[in-house]
């Protein structure tokens, strides 16, 4: 095999995501359920005192190679542990595109249709979930989110309250161009937010909901 053929064979497969093994991987379930004849999304409010306490989210968490065969299994397991909804009560009907967050975490989101009666039989884990509620998909279809912004910077060094200046990339010593001797970047990124009757829905969960709505709107437009 010559060098060109070896390169063709090496890179002939479907490309993935560069650095996938360096990310922290997580997965959430976006539960959809029939309520009084309308499709609703099921949300949880996180218990105060834990990570993201008081915030609205979908059930989900980190991939556990000791428990999960894949990221879909992660979403189902976390929903069971947090909401008391067994995997057998969920039918996976779709998946959103994988999100890569600015903090190096990937989020895979699966749409899961809940069996009739699942809301009546579920038992939430109070250590993680303070409350739950549903909102109809039509609520989000008729109400666009507020759009705010944050600014993302790359910091080659930072000031620690106890350690003082911590240098991560000694750009000057390495002879890199002067523009990399101090923070650079300044990418502006959208932050989506809905003021719902149950509190503020924002961040990753709001972005996933907005992607879901945009995709459904596009499908509806293409079929009419």
Q: What is the pTM of this model?
A: 0.91
Helix H or strand E encompassing 32: strand 24-35
CATH number for 217: 3.90.79.10
Cα–Cα distance for residue pair 115/212, rounded to 1 Å: 21
Per-residue pLDDT of 84-97, as tens digits, reads 999 999 999 999 99
Tell me the pLDDT band of 60, cut-offs 50, 70 and 90.
Answer: very high
Q: Is there a domain that residue 212 lies in?
A: yes
146 lies in which domain range?
23-150+185-222
Nearest-angstrom CA–CA distance, 50 and 22 = 25
User: Considering its fold, how many domains does the chain have in total?
Assistant: 1
Q: For residue 170, tell me if it sits in a domain.
A: no
204, part of any domain: yes
Residue 172 placed within a domain: no
């Amino acid at each position: 095999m010559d060098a060109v053929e070896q390169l063709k064979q090496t890179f002939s497969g479907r490309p993935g995501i560069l650095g996938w093994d360096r990310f922290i991987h997580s997965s959430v379930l976006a539960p959809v359920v029939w309520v009084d004849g309308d499709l609703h999304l099921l949300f949880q409010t996180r218990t105060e005192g834990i990570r993201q306490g008081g915030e609205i989210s979908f059930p989900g968490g980190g991939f556990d190679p000791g428990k999960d065969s894949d990221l879909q299994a992660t979403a189902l397991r976390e929903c069971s542990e947090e909401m008391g909804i067994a995997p057998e009560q969920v039918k996976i009907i779709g998946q959103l595109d994988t999100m890569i967050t600015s903090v190096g975490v990937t989020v895979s989101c699966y749409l899961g249709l809940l069996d009739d009666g699942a809301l009546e039989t579920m038992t939430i884990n109070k250590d993680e979930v303070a409350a739950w509620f549903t909102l109809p998909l039509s609520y989000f279809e008729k109400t666009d989110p507020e759009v705010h912004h944050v600014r993302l910077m790359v910091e080659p060094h930072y000031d620690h309250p106890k350690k003082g200046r911590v240098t991560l990339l000694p750009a000057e010593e390495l002879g890199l161009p002067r523009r990399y001797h101090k923070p650079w970047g300044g990418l502006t990124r959208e932050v989506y937010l809905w003021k719902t009757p149950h509190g503020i829905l924002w961040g990753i969960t709001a972005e996933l909901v907005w992607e879901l709505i945009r995709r459904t709107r596009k499908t509806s437009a293409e079929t009419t």
